[in-house]
Structure 1
Amino acid sequence: MNHALLGLAANPALPSELADRLIAGADADLAAVLAGRPDLGRAQLTVLASRFEEAAVQLAYEGRLTAADVDPAVYPRAALALLGEGSGRPQWSRLFATDRLVEIREKLAACPGLPADVARMLASDPDVRVVAELALWTTEPDLAARLAAHPHAEVRRAAAGNEATPPTVLAALLTGEGLPAARSCLVCDRERTPFVHDPHCPRTDCALPPGASCDGSHESTVHDTRQSALGNPATPAGAAALFADHPSLLLRQELAARPDLPPQVYARLAEDPVPWVRARLADNPAIDEALIRTLAGDRGHDVQRRLAHHPHLPLDVLPHLAGATRLGSPLLPRIAAASPAEVEALAISHDPTLRMLLALRRDLPARIRDTLAGDLDAKVLKAVAPHPGLSETQLRTMVERHGARVVTAVAANPDATPALLEDLARHRPPVHKAFREIARHRHATAPALLTCLTDRRARPTAAGHPALPPPVVVELLTDSDWQVVEAAAANPSLPTAAMLELLP
């Protein structure tokens, strides 16, 4: 793999005539990068697509090829991509429905808007994988209902995950009532029953999932069918609620994520013996305040952390959660939705963690932002430092007050000046994470970037920065690190003469 050429293929300053030369000599890896260029002309796209089907598929999905550009007999996968995007020709589907390759028919079955005769052909396909794919993706309720009663359990499992499947049929897939028993599954298709697949199966040609089993009732596929149906929002809540006490952990945790259950079912799940189920429940936006407060005292693994991200969390519960678990540094939904009065209260809270969580907002009024920028707690300053609108003086004061603890956050500020970035790059002791922020900053200067090149992890990012002097960029083309080479070749400051030298 020629990393210099891969970088050059992504270089936004690459002249069109050099792009032509790259296309003419491209291999599959280079073609994939070239296909991502937004500046290729129609003729270049056509040549690239004619030489590499994977590039044609990529371009088709992006809408940069049309049906007129693709011959389905020569490039079937590109034609399927256009069908998948709804821009292919209907007659192509009839061609692919009888293709000898299962992969082609399977991809066709996932395409929207198939003609009725093609859907019927696929529904009777001899390979169950094709029928299952149709059951999963068809938007026709009648067809989905018919496939839900298919004699093969794998097709039923797929239909259970399709939102077009009628609710009454989904309920039947959950309970098994009203449907004839399935006659086969992937397990009994291949093995004598009873059979349980060893999770550590040594056979390299075995495609059964770990733990797949069948004793004649296709139990593992039935379980997966129920799990798909419970995760399907079209499944009636009443039918789903029956599984609150099911012995399967996987089914209960799927149920705990549903937003349409009666309060008494949520209350039952809040008492589940498995923390994973209660943690999924803590994520659920439909649980009420009383249950949120109950879960706030739940010390089960990940329950409190997930609850802290609940959009309707009462703010008075947040201090308890902040003290009980590590919340990380994402902006919490409840903080993002805080009212102006709540923002005022959080900004002057005695709890620095609450002030830090507020400081992660980037839409704060200037007065609140500036109050937080003067905070004495380093973690509050780390949160607010990347906020746009802060002055150079405010940012420098943070560094003077807390040194290395805030340097990286200050370097991430979009308004950091070139002079400030140079000073941060020279900070002693060096802050290596800050080098990476400086290396990607739009205001970074050549002196700051040269310092960043001394850091192994920041070096590839700095090598691609357009403010790096062209002679340095050229020198980096021979670096021992392929990431640096690729970044340098993609640098828009690379001289055209150096680009020419890279071409074979």
Structure 2
Amino acid sequence: MNHLLCGLAANPALPVHLTSRLLDLALEAGARADAATGPEPSRDFPDELICGLADRSDLGRAQVRALAAHDEATAVRLAYGGTLTAADIDPAVRPFAAVALLDERRGLPEWAFLLSASPDPFVRRKLACCPALPPDAADALAADPDLEVVTELALWTTDPAVAARLARHPHAEVRSAAACNEAVPPAALAALITGDGLPPAASCLVCDTKDVPFVHDPYCPDVDCELRAGAACDGSHASTVHEIRQRALRNPATPPEAATSHADTPWMLLRWALAERSDLPQEVYALLARDPMPGVRGTVAENPAIGEELIRIFAAEATPPERRALAHHPRIPLDVLVTLARTTKTGPVLLPRIAAATAEELVELAGSAHASVRMLVAERRDLPDGVRDALAADPDAAVVKAIAPHPGLSEGQLRGMLARHGVPVHARVAANPDAPGALLAELARHEPPVRRALRAIAGHPNATSEALVPCLADRRARCEAAAHPALAVPVLLGLLDDADEELARAAAGNPSLPRSVMEDLVGRYPEPGVTRPVS
């Protein structure tokens, strides 16, 4: 029964009075679990039920407050879910929920300074992640004795003055966090890369706990060791300094002239970080395009900032993985993309250049003699009717698979695809938003079952009960089918007693479940505070 009540808690059609009843049951069960002595009782049922109720959008203020009063985790869930307000909690009692509201910019500003003095370092760490903290709270957190608090503030603060100060912090770990933060002023980010005008860091996580020189064993036997792989320090905090440079190079706020100083660095991770930037001179990209590491070259190939000249060089000389990356470039010339498509598998995705193609270009590509090129066009979902219809009649099954989910196709066109190409296009036809219920039912009854088609049908808004019943036999489709509002009530009721609790729970959450059945399921539990009679 517990799993059915958890399913009901998520049912959008649950009447208001039953929501209240489930809330009373959940809070009572939670209180019993909290008060139990002896072996620790299972909290799975009350916790799952409370989570399901907390996610509802139709809760009243009193219900929200009752849930928030139950425990901190539920209050935080309500805060991020948008139903908890600042008036519903006391930050001294529910500090994490107060932090969550501040994180959502719905808390009271004065809470920030109050919570910055919390004796719980975990509260202060969460607070340091919040955007737009008042200056007094940010200053308090910047001076916090807990290094993790200061590190989180360095990573997330949106105040440039605070960010700049933390970029010069004596601990290298704080500087490393600041190197990721786009609020750090460009000059300070440049200093993190070059070291110019920046005093050396005084410590790092390695020399905080180990005698230097020290290099962390990649096969460290200490299960409690928290040092990162490759951590090393000889007094210069080498591994953290390297990490600082890598992060600063990836930071788009870092001036490009500071970044280019590392174009010929021997460190592969620094070159890789540089290859991701979109503001470098073309000669730097050309240098990186000749990098000995495939990952660096592949990143350059898909970088939207590289020019046509480099794109054409890549297309002529690149390896297959680099050609795949190049195909995803948003400004690749169409003639280059067409050439790549003949020899490079890009997968069933809409490429950026195809998404930006003009109507005239689409017509030209759709008329290509190469099926691989027509497939690229078929992945668009806003094609002109003429182009769409021509691709729907394509003799190549791969092209038809790509176009089958396109909206606007008629039932006749979809049936024509099935008649010509059979099982290979079943799943994609089933995913068409305009596929009628009768066609979906035919696809669902196919023997042997086409599993991917069943999974598409299970969530299809046009699916009928006849189409959904075969989906219940598929392990991955059955729960979605059980929750589908078109499922016939007799079938739905049978699922409530299924041995698969996950399936039964999905059925209990179906909005088509009769109200009388909901009443009966909740009624099997005694009223809160009432003891069950002993039989």
In the other structure, the counterpart of 1:13 is 13
Partner SS for 1:302: helix
What are structure 1's unaligned runs of at least 5 residues?
none
| Contact 1:11 1:490 (C-alpha < 8 Å) held by counterparts | yes
Structure 2 gap ranges (5+): 27-45, 526-535
Partner of 1:353: 372
Higher mean alpha-carbon deviation, 84-93 vs 494-503, is at 494-503
CA offsets, 1:356-387, max 9 Å, x none? Answer: 11111111111111111111111111111111
The aligned residue for residue 110 of structure 2 is 91
Residues 2 and 216 of structure 1: is their aligned pair in 2 closer, same or farther, counting only changes over 3 Å? farther
After superposition, the C-alpha distances for 1:120-162 in whole angstroms (9 at most, x for unaligned) are 2211111111111122222222222222111110111111111
2:93 counterpart residue number? 74
Query: Does 2:386 match 1:367?
Result: yes
Match of 2:486 in 1: 467
CA contact (8 A) 1:276 1:301 kept: no
CA contact (8 A) 1:35 1:59 kept: yes
Rounded Cα–Cα distance in structure 1 between residues aligned with 2:320 and 2:241: 29
User: Does the alignment pair 1:3 with 2:3?
Assistant: yes
| 3-state SS of paired residue (2:96) | helix
The number of residue pairs the alignment matches comes to 504
Give 1:501 deviation, angstroms: 4.1
1:108 corresponds in structure 2 to 127
Q: Is 214-223 or 49-58 further displaced after alignment?
A: 49-58
1:202 is the counterpart of 2:221:
yes
Query: The residue matched to 2:290 in structure 1 has which SS?
Result: coil
Residue of structure 1 equivalent to 2:37:
none
Task: Report the Cα offset of residue 418 of structure 1.
Answer: 1.6
Change in 2 beyond 3 A, CA 1:50/1:298? farther
Determine which of 230, 255, 266 is the counterpart of 2:285.
266
Moved more, 170-179 or 134-143: 134-143
**Distance in 1 between the 2:498 and 2:334 partners?**
53
Q: Does 1:491 align with 2:491?
A: no
CA contact (8 A) 2:65 2:89 kept: no
Instruction: Measure the CA separation in 1 of the matches of 2:318 and 2:257.
Output: 30
- 1: distance between equivalents of 2:58 and 2:11? 11
SS in 2 for 1:54: helix
1:38 aligns with 2:57: yes
SS of aligned partner of 1:181: coil
The 10-residue stretch of structure 1 (208-217 or 25-34) with the greater mean CA deviation from structure 2: 25-34
- 2:44 is the alignment partner of 1:25: no
1:157-178, Cα deviation, whole Å (9 max, x unpaired): 1111111211111111001121
Q: CA deviation at 1:430?
A: 2.8
Of stretches 471-480 and 210-219 in structure 1, the one that deviates more from structure 2 is: 471-480
AA aligned to 2:509 is: A
Summarize the Cα distance change of 1:25–1:329 in structure 2 as closer, same or farther, 3 Å threshold: same
1:256 Cα deviation from its structure 2 partner: 0.3
Letter in 2 for 1:3: H
Structure 1-normalised TM-score? 0.96
Distance across 1 between alignment mates of 2:501 and 2:261: 56
Residue in 1 that maps onto 2:81: 62
- Aligned partner of 1:292 in structure 2 is 311
Residue deviations 1:187-223 (CA, integer Å, cap 9, x gap): 1111111112222323222211122111111111111
Describe the SS at the equivalent of 2:335.
coil
1:303 corresponding residue in structure 2: 322
Q: Which residue in 2 is equivalent to 1:118? A: 137
Distance of aligned partners of 1:318 and 1:203 in 2 relative to their CA distance in 1, 3 Å threshold? same
Query: 1:67-94: per-residue Cα shift (whole Å, max 9, x none)?
Result: 1111011100010011112222222222
Identity of aligned residues (%): 59
Q: What are the residue-to-residue correspondences of 1:361-400 with 2, within 5 Å?
A: 361-400=380-419
User: What do you get for the CA RMSD once the two structures are aligned?
Assistant: 1.7
Change (3 A) 1:25 1:208: farther
How far the C-alpha of 1:301 sits from its partner, in A, is: 6.2
